[in-house]
Every structure is written in C-alpha cells, then in structure tokens.
Structure 1
Amino acid sequence: MFETGGANPSSAASGNSRKCSRVNSKRIHRVSSNGVVSHFTCPRRPMSHRCQSAKLLAVWTTMVAVLVFSTTPVFAVAKGSIGPDPEFVEPLQNLTVTAGRDVKLQCSVKHLGSYKVAWIYMERSAILTVQNHVITRNPRISVTHDQHHTWNLHLASIQESDRGGYMCQINTAAAKTRVGYITVVVPPSIDDALSSSDVTAREQSSVTLTCSATGTLPLTVRWRREDGKLININRTLAVTEWEGTHLELNKVSRYDMAAYLCIASNGVPPTVSKRISLSVEFPPSVTLHQQLIGAPLGSTVSLDCTIESSPAALHFWSRSDGTDLHEAAKYLMQSSSSIGPIATPTSSSQTSWPAFRTQLRLTIVNVTSRDYGAYRCVAKNQYGEADGVITFHHTQSVTTSTASNRANLPPVAAISPAQLEDWSQDASNQTQMRLADPFSKGTVYICRINFS
C-alpha cells in the first residue's frame, strides 16, 4: 500500500471536494489494490454544477487508480515471500533551482520485483505518480523510468509553490521511503507600478525616489548615478552608492539633475536595474566671459555668454535699443547645444558641460562704426528671464577686459557679484580677490592681479 499521511491520496479529488458539503463523508487514507473510494455527500437540495463536478472527479480518480493497480494480481506482497526486499540504491538529492527551470528528481531502486514505486508531494500529502502513471492533474508533472531500476520525476517550469519535500516510496508492507527537498529561488524583479518613474522637481525642493523589488530574500536594493558622480543626499553628505528602497534627496540643485539607477540583487542571476531620470527646473541665469570688448574697424570680433536654465531657455541676442539680431552675413550665431562647448579664454572646447548649460557666441563680421555699442545676451523660460550686457567699443587693436599680463587668470570683467566674495588692494597696487566658481559647488579661487 502507499501511505500519504492521512490525506486524500488524489490531489484532484481533494481540491474539488472542498467545494461541496461533506455530510457523512468518509476519507480513504490509503491506496490499495482494490482502488480508491471517496464519498462526497451534498445537502438535500438540487445538486449544483460544482457538486456534480466534484462527484465526477472522485469517480474518475477511482477508475484511474483501479486501472493502475489492476495489472498486479497481488498488490501487497508479504515481506520476504518473493526474493530479497527492494532497496534504495542512493539517497535522493536536495536541489536548489531557479524559478522557471525544469527539474528532475531521481529515485533508484534495486530488487523491486512486483512492488511499485510512487512519488508523493509531502507538502500536500498528494500522490503524484505510481510506476509510469501520472495521478495528479498537474500538466507540468511527468514520470519516466529506466528498465525498472531508476524512476525520474519531472517538474517543468518550476514555480515557488512547488518547493518542499518529494518522497519516493516503495509499497512494501512497511513502506520504504526516501525524501528529497527542492528549494526554489526567484531572481530579483522590479515592480514598475510600485516604483518611481521619471521625476521633475523645482530647485531647492526635496525628492524621494522609490524602487520596489521582489525576489528570494535577502534582497538588496542599491542606488547609483548613471554618470558615476556622487549622490548628494544633503548639504553635508555625498555618497557614491546608497542602499535602500527609498532614495531621499534633500533640497536638490541643478547639479543633482541626472539619471539614477536602482539596482536589485539577491545572489540569484540576473541582477536587474531601473533607470529613473531626475529633472530639476529653475529660472535662467546668464554669465558673461567679457563685459567690455574693443576692436578696430573692419575686424571680426566674437561676444560670448553662458546660460544655465531648466527647462531649456529661449535665447537670443539684441542691441541696447531693443532690436533683436538674426543670423545674416553680418552676424554669425553659434550655440554649444548644437555644436558642443565653444572654446573661450577661460574654457576649453573639450570641457564636459551639464545639459542645463548652453554657451552662446555672437560673431560680428567686418566691424563698422554702427556696430559699436551694447549687446544683450537674453534667456527666458517659464520661470523667469535673465540677461547680460557686453559693451563693444572702438580701439586701434582688438582688446578685452583681460590684459596680457593677466592672461592666465579669470577675466576681471567676467566676475559677477555672486562670484566675488572678498577683495583687497595693497600699496603696490596688487589686488587680491576671493572668487567662488559658479560651475563647481564649493570651489573657491584666490586671484592676485598686479596692475603696475
């Protein structure tokens, strides 16, 4: 006989019988050569379709069991009556398998004789197979055998619900058993519906990014910036990596604008990630490279300005009288957003600039007296407007506010009040200025200029 630990040996009949009342019902806990008989009694009212299905399923299971066992005249053979008792050749393996893969459990028996081998799922006390017959209605389960010696239980596309103990049992008088355990591990997965999508925030507001991941525990969620730069948690804490399902950024600035990667791992490949883009919006600002430029008649001169804005600003050049300038033979207009960073006396064309920064250049060709005057670099977006004024005047040679003896220092005329933190001048006319770099948070330069 096959022992199933006191539960209905047919998982199919067991599952459906719960749908029906069991008044005066009786369970058979063992499968014998006479077959399995399960009684399902419904209340004295018209039988529902569900009750009918349960009753038909019980009859079907009984017929299958009778068919399976009817081929053996004497199902239970007395111990030692025919040859040596059957024995297991080796223990069953314990397996750890990734969800979705196919699994094979192997049970090898010698001296089986007329006895039979069954596979039983211990978590539900359900007989899965007997010999080469599949009892369960689970379509992912099958059985194969090799010359009456090795019996293989196959589980296709294994699921988390399949984990647990699987028993190989021989129906001797005192049932002989071996048990193998399957552990199902699930690789990490990020739930997009419960995680943050791309985020847009105003500068100086606080932002929380969320990454909801599932998978076999322990599960780790880490955050990194896609560009490899530090993550500014707040004004005093910056890290290369942050661990946790939530990334809280306090008072974000334009320098926090980036793509953030949420990376989930649990030791089960593959590791997965989600890309969340953070956009920080703020009104435009304009920085001038020179505020005063001189050039002779007939020359060609370039005026430069840098705009920081998010979202991108509408930008243009105009004269002091309000006349907007347009691309023509007289004027050549360039933008770093279309041609890349423009080399200036204080920057290189190889400089990597953030996306919110745009450099503009206005080139005046064949200068005439009418070209002298003030030029405005103007930027506008939905949050405000900013401009910078460059004065262009006549000289005998091209000059800027950066004299030759200060060529290696930032031009004085390009210094804005926001940059100039302190200054002093000694008796020898040497001026010392303390400057804050607007392009690098926290960086301060000390410049000494001798005007003698």
Structure 2
Amino acid sequence: IYFPLSLNSVKGTNAVFQCEVGGTAPFEVTWLRNKKPLTSNRKYKIVSQDSLASLEICSFESADIGEYQCVVSNDVESSGTLCVKEPPIFTLTLDNQDVIPGSTVVLKSAFTGTPPFTIKWFREDKEITTGGKSFIKKDASSSFLELHSVKTSDSANYTCQVANDAGKVTCSAVLFVKGSSKLVKNGESLILACKVTGTPVISVKWLKNETEIASNDKYRQSFTDSVASLEIVKCTIDDSGDYVCVASSDTGSDRCSSTVTVKGVFSFHLYS
C-alpha cells in the first residue's frame, strides 16, 4: 500500500488523497476522518478503481484540517494529516507620511494567514535589511520598519511583502521628508537645483506633489555637469507645493526635495 504521509493544500481549492493497494483483490476500502467513516457527497468524492483508491475533498476550509485514513479489508492501514493553508491578508496597511528631516519614522503592517511567513521590506525595488539607521521587527502577525534620523534623500516608496506557501501580498506607502523651504514672490522666477552623483545616471525627473513635471515654457529642466535644475518661470500661487528631484540608475534611485511657497504681492492706493 502507498499513501502520502501528509498533504498541504490551499484554502478554497480541492485536494486528493490517493492510496495504491497491492495484494489479493477484491479490496474493500473505507476512508476515515478523525476515526469517523466518510461517505461520498458534495464535500467528499470517494473512488476505488483496480488498485487505486482516492479521496477528493472539495473547497477546503479550515474545518477540514484533520487526520485522514485509508483502511482496506486486509487490515492494511495508512494515515496522514491534511493541512489547509490560508494565504496572507493584510489587516493593517502602511500609511503615507510627511515628516521633517531628523525625524524617526515607523511604518507598520499586520496580517493574518497560515505561518510560517517570509517578510521582506523594500525601498523602491531594493530590499532593506536591518543595519545603520534602518531597523526591521517581525513577529507572528505583524512587522514594522523603523527609520532613524531621516533626510530628504530617504523620500521614496516603501513596500512590505508577506508570503507563505499559499500566496504573497504587498502593501506600499510614500515617505516624503520635507527638505529646504523656498519663499518667492508672485511673478518672480525660481531655480531649484540638486547635485547628482553616481555612475551612470540613467534619468532625472522632477515631481510636484508626487506628480511628474513635463519640461515646457513654464518648467525648464536641465541636467549639466552632474547638477539637475528646474526653473519655474514667473511663479504664481498655484506653483506652491513640494518639489522632488528623482535620480535613477541601474543600481537604484535617490531623491532631494524642497518646499516652495509663492507669496502674493499686494498694493494699496489711498484716495482722498
């Protein structure tokens, strides 16, 4: 007789126990769950053909976990444990955060599912590990990323990934570390500039309030001698906001940011 010692299955799917019997036929086959006989119905499909006996369990639920046995008439018996595994689901997702330089930032997630879990954190597409100013904590149903003394270059998209044998889920949040502040009068022009280092730099782009800026007569972009610059021509009140320069290469990306405030100009006239 051949019978698997254990069978792992994903919640909501079907699983099949198979028992191959050798010896003198005919055989009488009985399937048991937790020592109680099973019969064919919508939940359990029992088939015996030649030397192969099978039990199919439809649409797994947690209640189906237990010990299943195949018993043949010659008293040969084999048993195994069926484990129903639930994929991870987030019960708490990451929140976007706007902070000032030097702050300590905590990004936390919580989840349910069948352990064990594999938990990873990413900054953009690069995995983060504990070290330096980054600290990752994991427990049975939650994980958090703690970043100490953040600076403007820490502004990025952060992702928590949780996986088990049944599936994988991710949740993300944007961390924006406010950089320098620029105050400009209505109608004046302003130039924002960032020094970019790295080999090679593939692309440089500018964002306003996390929306990419296109180069045009209003926003003039340049990248010369490792300096990325954005000129805002004749600023208006609508140009106030958070500006970010993003430099990307094959090895990753980095950011610098500045908050721009456009101040209106008022004139007063005295009449007599």
TM-score range, shorter chain: 0.5 to 0.7
% identity of equivalent residues: 20
Question: Structure 1 pair 361/200, CA: closer, same or farther in 2 (3 Å)?
Answer: closer
Q: How far 1:305 sits from its partner (Å)?
A: 1.7
Q: 1:104 aligns with which of 16, 20, 28?
A: 16
**What is aligned with 1:273?**
170
Question: Structure 1 pair 386/253, CA: closer, same or farther in 2 (3 Å)?
Answer: farther
1:225-374 paired onto structure 2 within 5 Å: 225-226=123-124, 228=126, 237-238=132-133, 242=136, 244=138, 245-266=143-164, 268=165, 270-281=167-178, 284-285=181-182, 305-306=191-192, 312=209, 333-336=217-220, 341-343=221-223, 347-348=226-227, 351=228, 359-360=230-231
For the residue of structure 1 that corresponds to 2:126, the secondary structure is: coil
CA distance in 2, matches of 1:202, 1:384: 15
Equivalent position amino acid for 1:359 in 2: L
Question: Structure 1 pair 285/227, CA: closer, same or farther in 2 (3 Å)?
Answer: farther
Deviations 1:159-208 (A, max 9, x none): 44433321112457xx5532133334444x241x3222333334444321
Contact map agreement 2:9 2:15 (CA 8 A) in 1: no
Deviations 1:94-119 (A, max 9, x none): 24323143222223444455x73211
User: Larger Cα Rg: Structure 1 or Structure 2?
Assistant: 1
Question: Structure 1 pair 224/381, CA: closer, same or farther in 2 (3 Å)?
Answer: closer
Provide TM-score, normalisation by structure 2.
0.61
CA distance in 2, matches of 1:376, 1:108: 80
**What is aligned with 1:94?**
5
1:15-414 paired onto structure 2 within 5 Å: 90-100=1-11, 101-109=13-21, 110-113=23-26, 116-122=28-34, 125-129=35-39, 134=40, 139-147=42-50, 149-170=51-72, 176-187=76-87, 189-191=88-90, 193-226=91-124, 228=126, 237-238=132-133, 242=136, 244=138, 245-266=143-164, 268=165, 270-281=167-178, 284-285=181-182, 305-306=191-192, 312=209, 333-336=217-220, 341-343=221-223, 347-348=226-227, 351=228, 359-360=230-231, 380=240, 385=261
Question: Structure 1 pair 228/119, CA: closer, same or farther in 2 (3 Å)?
Answer: closer
Contact map agreement 2:14 2:56 (CA 8 A) in 1: yes
Contact map agreement 1:94 1:182 (CA 8 A) in 2: no
Larger proportion of strand:
2
CA distance in 1, matches of 2:8, 2:127: 38
Q: How far 1:257 sits from its partner (Å)?
A: 1.6
Q: How far 1:273 sits from its partner (Å)?
A: 2.0
Deviations 1:12-31 (A, max 9, x none): xxxxxxxxxxxxxxxxxxxx
Structure 1: 5+ residue stretches without partners: 1-89, 288-302, 313-331, 352-357, 363-374, 388-452
Structure 2: 5+ residue stretches without partners: 195-206, 210-215, 243-258, 264-272
CA distance in 1, matches of 2:107, 2:230: 31
Question: Structure 1 pair 229/157, CA: closer, same or farther in 2 (3 Å)?
Answer: closer
Contact map agreement 1:99 1:160 (CA 8 A) in 2: no
Q: How far 1:226 sits from its partner (Å)?
A: 0.7
For the residue of structure 2 that corresponds to 1:211, the secondary structure is: strand
Which structure has the higher relative contact order (CA within 8 Å, separation 6+)? Answer: 2
Provide TM-score, normalisation by structure 1.
0.40
Larger proportion of helix:
1
Contact map agreement 2:181 2:260 (CA 8 A) in 1: yes
Give the superposed CA RMSD. 4.2
